[in-house]
Chains A and B, each alone.
Chain A
Amino acid sequence: MTASTAPTAPVRTVAPPSRVRRVAALAAGENRLFLRNRTALVNSVVVPLLLVAAVPALGLSSDVPLGPQLILTGVGVTLVFLTYYNLVTTYVARREELVLQRMRTGELTGPEVLLGTAAPTLLVTLGQIVLVAAGVVAIGEWSAPVDPVLPLIAVLGGAALMTVLAAVSTAFTRTAESAQITTLPLVLPTTALSGLITPLSAFPDALAAVARFLPVTPVVELLQLGLGGVTWDGRLVDGGAAWAAALLPLAVLAGWLALGTLAAVRWFRWAPRR
């Protein structure tokens, strides 16, 4: 029998680590894992750059000058093919290996676990965009953005949306391998109809009107407006008018973020199905 006088342990007065410190601690471990995974490293760094190079080489028409177009393509391709796809496979692999469930038993909250796990992918996303921008400067195609805030919102909002949509996609992705199939709805049709490869102005009006409400389109629209002052239908606008034209894509992006967050909260699973 245990001694009956065992006291209740005194409440400790050590302050808990901040959310940022907790996420940074997990992110440090994840970054180390990422650097040790050569396949992921090559897929994340080389493949998106090749895709960016391939799009202009296809000679597709564009409403935007080459420099901004290369950056726009770089951001779009990186967000979809790197951020979204990588995160779906990472989250699913971690879930199937029971790592996510283990993480949830500590002081990290659910969103902190997801953010810390996403850290390497998000850092590489940022690095790729900076690399493409540097390349554009190097080939002499750089031009000052019409409004620098809109591309910033597009990158940050787009990265957040891809992270949330990746979390949602894990609900119908059983294994990391099956992510090749389950990510197709976002990777192919919504990217093709986003204006990233073919401008929306080239689509029939009805199709373009619907396409503006797809998840990747507002990111592309905001980039076009901010980098080149080009609206979705190909008109050139200045800084003030760019913001007026940005209201709908901003609302659509915010709507997808809210919807995606609700869906992730509702359907994200931390452990494999029993």
Chain B
Amino acid sequence: MQPTAPPAPTRVQTEAAPAIEVRDLRRSYGDFEAVRGISFEVQPGEVFALLGVNGAGKTSALEVLEGLAPAGGGSVRVLGADPVRDRARVRPRLGVLLQFSGLPGDLTVAETLRTWAGTLTDPRPVDEALAQVQLTGRADVRVRSLSGGERRRLDLALALLGRPDVVVLDEPTTGLDPESRRQVWRLVHDLVAGGAAVVLTTHHLEEAEELADRVAVLRDGQIVLAGTQEEIAETQPATIRFTLDQDAPEPPRPAGVQVVAERPRMEWHTRALQPVLAELLAWAAEHRVVLRALDARAASLEQAFLAVAAGAETP
């Protein structure tokens, strides 16, 4: 996959315009170029995940989408409008969860939501918002008394209070316990089912695997890998592991197999998982060899991410 190339549109194109359209986006801080020409689109009802190590440029890119900073170059359209210049058009339909943000500690949860609701065009009822993030029982508790996870859920409730059509979530589950994280995942699934477009960043790759329809990996401000999870995983070799007794005959070496570890615990890497595995199983049957703890699997998103995010070239 070519660096900086926009992700290939893998879903069937519809007449609907993309909810988010980013073209050759650039953003700099002085001489440092944090975002160096990235492009992608997100359709309504789709989750798009931006992955990358710290400093890769994810938040800098999202701040332009959120209308908090102007683009240094290129263009961004949210629901067909520029989020900075056409702010009044975009904001009522945009929900934002920042990576770090604060809330006044001396207001209660319900007061915080009521205050925020008063500033919105079409807020959902506060009781509904509380229930959405499982904070109904904490409605009268002051924000400073909430746990970190509860504050994050309140922040999420604020982001979703205006019934947004486009939602930007910057590391939405950071600091959440596993149960709260799953609640957030359910919320995102509900949003998408309702037709919202979601862009999220996360350091939890299992979160991207759970939620994202498409993924882009950012490195040094550029998209170095993009596509569906399957497409991204296919950029990395599959792995076959098995244990061979010392007295077993020498196994075959199918073409294209890279031997990573020798017996007793053998590990092969291959881009042709099915034929190589078939050949191995046929050999084992023919020689009556037991392949103990046999494990064969395609590459994961995490493997692909680790291979490219930190600087290694895509194989």
Contact = CB atoms under 8 A, between A and B. Distances in A.
Given A4-B14, A7-B16, 13 more contacts: A2-B43, A4-B12, A6-B192, A9-B165, A9-B195, A14-B122, A24-B118, A32-B111, A99-B104, A101-B101, A105-B66, A107-B121, A270-B68
A33 B106 contact: yes
Contacts, number: 126
A12 to B, nearest CB: 6
A9 B47 CA distance: 15
Q: Which 7 A-B pairs have the closest CB atoms?
A: A25-B118, A6-B45, A29-B115, A98-B102, A4-B12, A105-B96, A97-B102
A89 to B, nearest CB: 15
Q: Using C-beta atoms within 8 Å of the partner chain, give the interface range for chain B.
A: 35 or more
Interface stretch (A15-23, A43-51, A56-64, A202-210): A15-23
B119 A5 contact: no
A99 B112 CA distance: 12
Nearest to A98: B102
Contacts of B68: 101, 104-105, 270
B102 A6 contact: no
Interface string A76-109: 0000000000000000000001110110111111
A17 B118 contact: yes
Interface of A: 1-9, 12, 14-17, 21-22, 24-26, 28-29, 32-33, 36-37, 97-99, 101-102, 104-109, 112, 270
B91 A28 contact: no
A146 to B, nearest CB: 42
Nearest to A272: B100
B46 interface: yes
B98 A7 contact: no
Given A6-B43, A16-B92, A28 B119 contact: no
B98 A2 contact: no
A102 B16 contact: no
A29 B103 contact: no
B96 A8 contact: no
Nearest to B29: A274
If over half of B's interface residues share one DSSP class (helix, strand or loop), that class is named, otherwise mixed; here it is: loop
Nearest to A6: B45
A105 B116 CA distance: 11
B158 to A, nearest CB: 8
B107 interface: yes
B98 to A, nearest CB: 6
A104 B158 CA distance: 12
Given A29-B104, A33-B104, A101-B68, A8 B195 contact: yes
Interface string B190-201: 001011100000
B82 to A, nearest CB: 16
B118 A32 contact: no
5 contacts: A12-B122, A97-B104, A101-B102, A105-B66, A270-B68
A2 B16 contact: no
Contacts of B12: 4
B111 A29 contact: yes
Contact of A6 (B100, B120, B155, B195): B195
A98 B151 CA distance: 13
A246 to B, nearest CB: 38
B255 interface: no
Contact of B46 (A6, A25, A102): A6
Given A97-B102, A105-B66, A33 B107 contact: yes
Contacts of A7: 16, 44-45, 195
Contacts of A4: 11-14
Contacts of B121: 12, 14-17, 107
A106 B98 contact: no
Max count, chain B CB within 10 A of own CB: residue among A8, A32, A33: A8
B118 A106 contact: no
Nearest to B142: A36
A6 B93 CA distance: 17
A107 B102 contact: no
Interface string B45-88: 11100000000000000000010100000000000000000011
B277 interface: no
B199 to A, nearest CB: 14
Contacts of B155: 102
Contacts of B162: 106-107
A229 B96 CA distance: 54
A99 B45 CA distance: 30
> Quick one: which of B44, B88, B101, B121 has the most chain A CB within 10 A?
B101
Interface string B176-197: 0000000000000000101110
Given A12-B121, A29-B104, A6 B44 contact: yes
Interface in B187-234: 192, 194-196, 213, 228
Nearest to B105: A97
- Which of B118, B119, B196 has the most chain A CB atoms closer than 10 A to its own CB? B119
B100 to A, nearest CB: 6
